Structure 1
Amino acid sequence: MMAISSPQYVWTLFVKPLQTTTGGSLAAVQITFSMLIVLQTWLSPLQGWLIDRFGARVLITLGCLMSGLGWVASSQVTSLMGLYLSYGLLCGIGTGVVYIGIVGLMLKWFPDRRGLAAGVVAAGYGFGAILTTFPIDSMIRSSGASTTLLTFGIVLGLVGALAGLFMQAPPADFEAPAPKVASSVRDVAPRDMLKTKLFWLLFVMMTMMSTGGLMVTSQFAPVMREFGVANVMIFGMAALPFALT
């Protein structure tokens, strides 16, 4: 999870350099982030089915490689279409597969601690950005965005893929502890789930919560530069990467 969070959380650091390399406007370049999020989330049902069909280890490993390859390819792009296909398409599909695969595995291994298990892996997704934001920002300033995308694409892709090789589902005879909190044991088909009010309530809640956060995340650097505070020092650290962490 830590290896695939950077394409989302540090995207804003690459916006201005990518405008220069592609010649695109801010709005045109930001379409890349929209593609990333749409593919990362709306393909989740299909990705979940593929993981059940072919196994979490294979799909998680491939997802990490796709995410890393997306950054490597992005380091060489000179057009908006190239950016959309590399950062938007490859990173979007790759990070989505990994996220769904790991969350699903955690819930299978710890059905009696589902909330804690999902919370821990979600925290890992955010913690990855904490570890990489300052190094990425520093390398962009010293070596340029292309070198940064290439270097971190290779490193994060390989680290994630290596970790993915150790992923495995619980064995058939695995006996999980009984959940401490009572829950429904009624199985509901996807089509029936879509007919329930509770599903749509949760769907709207998640949509509203995530949309606000993603809007801020994607536009953070342009807004801070517009107000002239991106390079203000806070506790000896530049304000922009400090705020992103």
Structure 2
Amino acid sequence: MNRTRWIQLALGVIAMMAVSSPQYVWTLFTKPLLGTVGGTLADLQVTFSILIVLQTWLSPAQGALVEKFGPRLLVMAGCALSGLSWVLTAYATSLPAVYVAYGVLGGIGTGIVYIGIVGQMVKWFPDKRGFAVGMAAAGYGFGAIFLNFPISSTLSTAGLQHTLIVFGLIQGVVGVAAAAFLKPAPEHGTADRPEPAVGSMRTRRDYNSREMLKTPVFWLMFVMMTMMSTGGLMVISQFATFSRSFGIDEKVLVLGFAALPLALTIDRITNGLTRPIFGFISDRIGREKTMAIAFIGEGLAIALLVMVREDPLLYVLMSGVVFFGWGEIFSLFPSTLTDTFGETHATKNYGFLYMAQGVGSVLGGPIAALIFASTGSWMPVFGIIIAMDVLTGLLALFALAPMRRRLIDASPAAGAAKPAFAG
């Protein structure tokens, strides 16, 4: 059991890495795609919103399918769709074609993989839930690390079409191969199943999705994740654009490297590291305390990024700190949700919460671009994001923690009760 679950975690990380680039490398494609299909930046950024909206808003149905049929087949299909989306985008000659190929197919494919892997990890690791989900989510953050420079270089030397075809095929094949060996997590009552770690408040019973959606706790978490997703996705989708407006582009060198791809590579590293690190911390000191530290710290990091924008070296370094303060939402929120509503329906339940990222993609993608277009400055956008980050950190401490405790204390155990753990 112990060896098997670590193998499953490794396979899940590989599958997540294989489908991470559609989101995290998108910013490198915006300029060449505009030259190919035309339109404005705001028009093209609709693709990114479609990708994230479908990746997230279909996840409840995808989670239900994973729970019914198991992770192997569906995750394999998701990886194949993700790779195919890049190959088809290579032949797109219009914005609608990009919307369908990159946005629709990519969103469906990456969504199946993401929700399936996260849902499995919260079940395989009841004793290390924050860390395990963080590692799986880190795969999604780390995946683009290995591709930022190769993709950037290939775009310069071989062009957009060749880049999309080659790297689409690579990602699809690797993801399908890893997913082929996935297994469902053991159910409650398994003799060698590890006990949950004492580190945070845990439910006495399992809630199905209908029951969960009736609770104010879920909707508070939904609003909090929406606010954090908005800021992070704005930075991801617009990073190259607002960096160039600050004078930080491929022609600027930092430590001998082109500043923009260097920043994107560092960002992928910190965006991946933050997920298991803060997940591990939350297993020890509690989810809400960890949220407050991370979210308020993210607001401060964005403020500092804006302040040092005229210094390329400091700007590149601070961009890494910004991503370190955002990526942890993908370990903290699913762990907190499962702690609160149980793991029997965890995959489908997280699918509903994961929809918050879809809302954030609309606010952080085209709407942020429209605010910039109307004001001629990125400063109003950064100001809104900083305020939301700080507010979300405060809500974790002063609203989410007491509400979760009241729900858990008031919920009777169903059937053979699992113990409630208080942190």
Q: TM-score per shorter chain, which class?
A: over 0.9
Q: Normalising by structure 2, what TM-score?
A: 0.56
Q: Secondary structure at the match of 1:166?
A: coil
Give 1:196's aligned residue.
215
Q: Kindly report the root-mean-square deviation, in angstroms, between the aligned alpha carbons of the 2 structures.
A: 1.4
Matched, 1:68 2:83: yes
Counterpart mapping for 1:104-115 below 5 A: 104-115=119-130
Is the CA contact 1:112–1:176 (under 8 Å) kept in the aligned structure 2?
no
- The 2-side partners of 1:132 and 1:174 are apart by 42
State the match for 2:378 in structure 1.
Answer: none
Amino acid of the structure 2 residue aligned with 1:191: R
Q: State the AA in 2 paired with 1:179.
A: P
Aligned counterpart for 1:86 among listed residues 77, 89, 101: 101
Counterparts of 1:190 and 1:209, CA distance in 2: 23
1:180 Cα offset (Å)? 1.9
Cα distance in 1 for partners of 2:161, 2:191 equals 47
Cα distance between partner residues in 2 of 1:39 and 1:93: 6
1:195 CA displacement: 2.1
Instruction: State which structure, 1 or 2, has the greater radius of gyration over its C-alpha atoms.
Output: 2
Q: Which of 64, 69, 82 pairs up with 1:49?
A: 64
**How many Å separate the matches in 2 of 1:197 and 1:78?**
46
CA contact (8 A) 2:126 2:197 kept: no
Q: 1:96 and 2:115 equivalent? A: no
Per the alignment, residue 244 of structure 2 pairs with: 225
Q: In the alignment, does 2:137 pair up with 1:118?
A: no
- For structure 2, the residue ranges without an aligned partner over 5 or more in a row are 1-15, 266-423
The structure 1 segments of at least 4 consecutive aligned residues displaced by more than 4 Å after TM superposition are 171-174
Counterpart in 1 of 2:229?
210
User: Which of 154, 160, 164 is residue 145 of structure 1 equivalent to?
Assistant: 160
Q: What residue is the counterpart of 2:258 in the other structure?
A: 238
Tell me the residue number matched to 2:44.
Answer: 29
2:151 aligned partner: 136
Q: Deviations over 1:73-131 (max 9, x none)?
A: 00110011110110000110100110111111112211121111101111111111112
Q: In the alignment, is the contact (CA less than 8 A) between 2:74 and 2:112 conserved in 1?
A: yes
| From 173, 179, 190, the counterpart of 2:196 | 179
Report deviation, 1:224. Answer: 2.4
Letter in 1 for 2:131: L
CA distance in 1, matches of 2:50, 2:236: 15
Shift of 1:171: 4.9
Distance 1:174 1:140, change over 3 A: farther
Deviation digits for residues 173-204 of structure 1 (CA, Å, limit 9, x no counterpart): 56411112262121223222122221111111
Structure 1: gaps (5+ residues): none
Per-residue deviation, 1:41: 1.0
Greater Cα offset, 17-26 or 32-41: 17-26
Q: Percent identity?
A: 59
Partner SS, residue 176 of structure 2: helix
**Cα distance in 2 for residues equivalent to 1:6 and 1:59:** 19
Give distance in 2, aligned partners of 1:87 and 1:200.
30
| 1:12 Cα deviation from its structure 2 partner | 0.6
TM-score, structure 1 length as denominator? 0.95
Find the aligned partners of 2:184 and 2:26 in 1 and give their Cα distance. 32
